[in-house]
């Protein structure tokens, strides 16, 4: 146990952050590697990305390996079995298969990786040939997450994407030809210039491809993005967005996909192991510029600037910029809010714990939402109904534990 106030030689930090990085996860964590580069910045994107340049790749990979090696010095690394590894970004598929393979090998040298662990690579259709995909498979990638977003070239252009619908079709075909048996497709609805019929056509075509998993999110105008700065004239109105959501739930349900999370759909046996960790409030370690981690009760984030990230590693220190220790009530609150997004819902005991001082209030809330057809409290679990999912954020906020 690192005493509160004692500085950690790896992070240079003291107190709870030092304890979290020295003691490691209590359970089996997921590992996230942030691959920073994209060919361009999409006007709706607020992720930490940098423009791809050939000469930036080697220093970036070197830094990522050094960050991993720092964690490898900790005693907990060798006793921590990893069940999921996720290459996110950015556009990880801009990295060569040999680079992805080198990182997978480095992770496996640092932490024992469970047999059959899920290893996901996010990919964009650009440059995604069968040969490249064969390389990723040979490197150990088991699951591909393909950023299709739309199958209408006019909508893709409005989204500032760098690929056409035809390139997305070819990329999915190439993934199958390379032998990927677990492919997830990302789609966006509520996009500029996208009506209900257009959304339905794209969705139906993707369903026809037969992916094992779909992630379908409504486009949001995140502060600081180009879309948030200049008003969009041709966004679908609220009624259309709702109709798009309903068409998605109905169409994907009829095609045999389970809506296991509000925006995520899977064929049996194909839920995302890694992303379920986030929704269940479980631990994960994030590596790379701007990556977030959650170990023990401490959440921390790496430096976002690749130069500052690398400079910290050059000094032999973990590149952590900020951290916070969640109180038991905050942690419980997060598990309630995210857990309610899942079809499996949450244990009723979590709510009982959060409302220990006001059990009558909890019973009143559960009765009110139950009567409104928004929530089901059955036996030991509480979950949202289909109607309740549309109000998940508001219901989650009501069910937060008292501070
Ligand atoms: S490709 Fe993805 S990560 Fe890159 S800028 Fe576009 S939305 Fe953001």
**Residue whose C-alpha is closest to residue 194's, from 241, 239, 229, 136:** 241
In this predicted structure, what is the pLDDT of residue 3?
Answer: 37
User: Tokens 């009624």 identify what position?
Assistant: 239
Q: Which atom of ligand 1 is nearest to the CA of 40?
A: 5
Cβ atoms 25, 80 nearer than 8 A: yes
Domains of the chain: residue spans and CATH = 15-279 (3.80.30.20), 327-403 (1.10.10.920)
Which ligand 1 atom is the nearest neighbour of the CA of 41? Answer: 5
What pLDDT, on the 0 to 100 scale, is given for residue 21?
85
Give the model's pLDDT for residue 22. Answer: 85
Q: Rounded to whole angstroms, what are the CA distances from 293 to 21, 31, 131, 138, 277?
A: 10, 9, 33, 28, 12
Between the CA of 161 and the centroid of ligand 1 the distance, in Å, is 8
**Counting atoms of ligand 1 from 1, which one is nearest the CA of 122?**
2
What integer pLDDT is reported at residue 8 of this predicted model?
Answer: 64
Nearest CA to ligand 1 atom 8: 45
Q: How far, in Å, is the centroid of ligand 1 from the Cα of 13? A: 32
Say yes or no: CB of residue 275 within 6 Å of ligand 1. Answer: no
CB 211 within 8 A of CB 180: no
Q: What is the pLDDT of residue 30?
A: 94
Q: If residue 136 lies in a helix (H) or strand (E), which one and from where to where?
A: helix 130-139
User: For residues 148 and 161, what is the distance between their CA atoms, to the nearest angstrom?
Assistant: 9
> Which H or E run includes 320?
strand 320-325
Residue 200: closest CA among 241, 252, 248, 233 = 248
Ligand 1: which of 43, 93, 125, 147 to mutate, most ligand atoms within 8 Å of CB? 147
- Say how many Å lie between the CA of residue 62 and the centre of ligand 1: 23
Question: How far apart (Å, rounded) are the C-alpha atoms in residues 105 and 131?
Answer: 20
Write out the chain's pLDDT in tens, 403 residues: 333 445 565 666 668 888 888 888 888 889 999 999 999 999 999 999 999 999 999 999 999 999 999 999 999 998 888 999 999 999 999 999 999 999 999 999 999 999 999 999 999 999 999 999 999 999 999 999 999 999 999 999 999 999 999 999 999 999 999 999 999 999 999 999 999 999 999 999 999 999 999 999 999 999 999 999 988 889 999 999 999 999 999 999 999 999 999 999 999 999 999 999 999 999 999 999 999 999 988 999 999 999 999 999 999 999 999 999 999 999 999 999 999 999 999 999 999 999 999 999 999 999 999 999 999 998 899 999 999 999 999 999 999 877 6
C-alpha to C-alpha distances, 146 to 91, 95, 119, nearest whole angstrom = 10, 15, 14
Residue nearest to atom 5 of ligand 1 (CA): 41
Whether the CB-CB separation of 85 and 287 falls below 8 Å is answered with: no
Segments in 73-115 forming alpha helices (H): 97-110
The answer, yes or no, to whether any atom of ligand 1 lies below 6 A from the CB of 38, is yes
Does the beta carbon of 49 sit less than 6 angstroms from any atom of ligand 1?
yes
């Amino acid at each position: 146990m690192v005493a509160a106030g004692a500085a950690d030689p790896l992070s240079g930090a003291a107190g709870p952050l030092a304890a979290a990085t020295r003691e490691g996860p209590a359970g089996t964590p997921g590992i996230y590697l942030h691959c920073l580069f994209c060919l361009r910045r999409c006007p709706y994107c607020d992720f930490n990305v940098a423009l791809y340049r050939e000469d930036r790749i080697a220093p970036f990979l070197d830094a990522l390996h050094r960050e991993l090696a720092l964690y490898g010095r900790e005693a907990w690394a060798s006793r921590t079995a990893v069940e999921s590894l996720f290459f996110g970004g950015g556009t990880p598929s801009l990295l060569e298969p040999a680079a992805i393979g080198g990182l997978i090998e480095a992770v496996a040298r640092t932490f024992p990786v469970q047999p059959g662990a899920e290893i996901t690579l996010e990919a964009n259709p650009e440059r995604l040939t069968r040969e490249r995909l064969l390389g990723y498979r040979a490197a150990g990638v088991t699951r591909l997450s393909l950023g299709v977003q739309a199958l209408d070239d006019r909508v893709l252009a409005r989204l500032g994407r760098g690929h056409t619908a035809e390139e997305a079709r070819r990329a999915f075909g190439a993934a199958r030809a390379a032998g990927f048996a677990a492919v997830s497709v990302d789609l966006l609805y509520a996009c500029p210039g996208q009506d209900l019929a257009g959304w339905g056509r794209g969705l139906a075509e993707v369903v026809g491809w037969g992916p094992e998993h779909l992630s379908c999110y409504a486009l949001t105008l995140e502060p600081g993005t180009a879309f948030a700065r200049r008003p969009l004239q041709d966004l679908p109105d609220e009624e259309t967005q709702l109709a798009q959501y309903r068409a998605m739930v109905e169409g994907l349900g009829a095609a045999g996909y389970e809506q296991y999370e509000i925006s995520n759909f899977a064929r049996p046996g194909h839920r995302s192991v890694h992303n379920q960790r986030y929704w269940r409030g479980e631990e994960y370690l994030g590596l790379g510029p701007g990556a977030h981690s959650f170990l023990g009760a401490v959440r921390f984030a790496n430096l976002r600037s690749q130069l500052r990230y690398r400079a910290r590693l050059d000094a032999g220190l973990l590149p952590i910029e900020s951290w916070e220790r969640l109180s038991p009530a905050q942690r419980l609150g997060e598990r309630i809010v995210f857990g309610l997004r899942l079809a499996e819902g949450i244990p009723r005991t979590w709510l009982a714990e959060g409302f220990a001082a006001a059990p009558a209030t909890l019973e009143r809330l559960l009765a009110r939402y139950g009567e409104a057809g928004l929530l089901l409290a059955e036996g030991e679990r509480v979950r949202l109904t289909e109607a309740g999912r549309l109000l998940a954020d508001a219901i989650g906020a009501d069910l937060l534990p008292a501070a």
